[in-house]
Amino acid sequence: MNQQRVTTWSELMGALYEDSWMPTLERFRPSLAFRGLPDISFTLSTSLMRLGDDCSQIEGHLLRNFRKYAMRNVAERDSFWYLLSVAQHHGLPTRLMDWTFSPYVALHFVTAAHERYDRDGVVWCIDYKQVHQHLSHDLRALLEEEGADVFTIEMLSNIRSLKEFDALSDTPFALLFEPPSIDDRIINQYALFSVISSPAMSMSSWLEGHPEVFRQIIIAKELKWEIRDKLDQANINERVLFPGLDGLSRWLRRQYVPPGSGTRPLNPLNELTNGFVV
């Protein structure tokens, strides 16, 4: 597995921006999507999969009822992919998974939960250009026609259901698409979604069969406090990523966590030879 463990801020920045120079563009614009998790033991399972083994049967019922009861908020003219994006955004269990173009946003989700500061975190990095090389010719043609690297819901509008989506290939495939700018939360989180053509397949399982498209950055638990403080200084926090009073309250609650909670931050002036403070 393409995996690297980092124990310092400089190592972390180097890992996140590794190979970011794009010679053809003459810009630092890697084709990466990021997902941060606070615990290395967490897998890339969708919220739908976490409902149980019969998630394939449940999926259609969830979406049908969401469409029925949410009609005042989701106009009939909007595409199926708009409906699916809204459902995911508001917490309905779906086969979609949240990612971000921003490595700093991913780091926020690694460090937002202080109760997990006693465990290593992880940032998953996937190359969406390479992911899309495994698509069918017709889907790749959609990207080529638009000169795009990721899909939009408009580009997928001719696929009117997940049943149609799943039938596009006998082999499960993954793609990433940008959701519509439903609200400031999606915009501020620089969000995109992944979707796999099987409700019962996790992104972890799909990636195991395609090791060339991803890498993992394991973040030492002792580094989390430094990351968290530096993200707060850079204004990457709940108040920005979850605009509104709920995000403000979550940000303030975390600001006043007792200093003894979780693993203590390293003091660079008092490091022992093994790099840890005792």
pLDDT at 268: 44
Residue 258 to residue 146: CA distance in whole angstroms? 51
pLDDT at 38: 97
Predicted confidence (pLDDT) at residue 274 exceeds the cutoff of 60? no
Residue 85 to residue 97: CA distance in whole angstroms? 10
Residue 265 to residue 230: CA distance in whole angstroms? 12
CB 136 within 8 Å of CB 173: yes
Residue 122 to residue 77: CA distance in whole angstroms? 40
pLDDT at 71: 74
Which segments of 127-223 does DSSP mark as H helices, in order?
A: 128-132, 137-146, 162-166, 184-188, 203-208
Q: Please name the residues in contact with 240: beta carbons below 8 A apart, sequence gap of 6 or more.
A: 188, 247
Comparing 65-69, 124-128, 211-215, 241-245, the range with the smallest average pLDDT is 65-69
CB atoms within 10 A of CB 54: 9
% of the chain residues with pLDDT over 70:
91
Residue 120 to residue 136: CA distance in whole angstroms? 37
Residue 72 to residue 1: CA distance in whole angstroms? 46
Q: Please name the residues in contact with 144: beta carbons below 8 A apart, sequence gap of 6 or more.
A: none
Q: Please name the residues in contact with 216: beta carbons below 8 A apart, sequence gap of 6 or more.
A: 1, 2, 3, 4, 122, 123, 124, 125
pLDDT per residue over 116-148, tens digit each? 999 999 999 999 999 999 999 999 999 999 999
pLDDT per residue over 165-180, tens digit each? 999 999 999 999 999 9
51 token code pair: 């409902």
107 token code pair: 């780091």
Q: Please name the residues in contact with 187: beta carbons below 8 A apart, sequence gap of 6 or more.
A: 181
pLDDT per residue over 43-77, tens digit each? 999 999 999 888 889 999 999 999 989 877 776 55
* Whole-Å CA distances, 88 to 47, 183, 194, 232: 9, 13, 11, 27
User: What residues pair up with 32 in beta bridges, in sequence order?
Assistant: 127
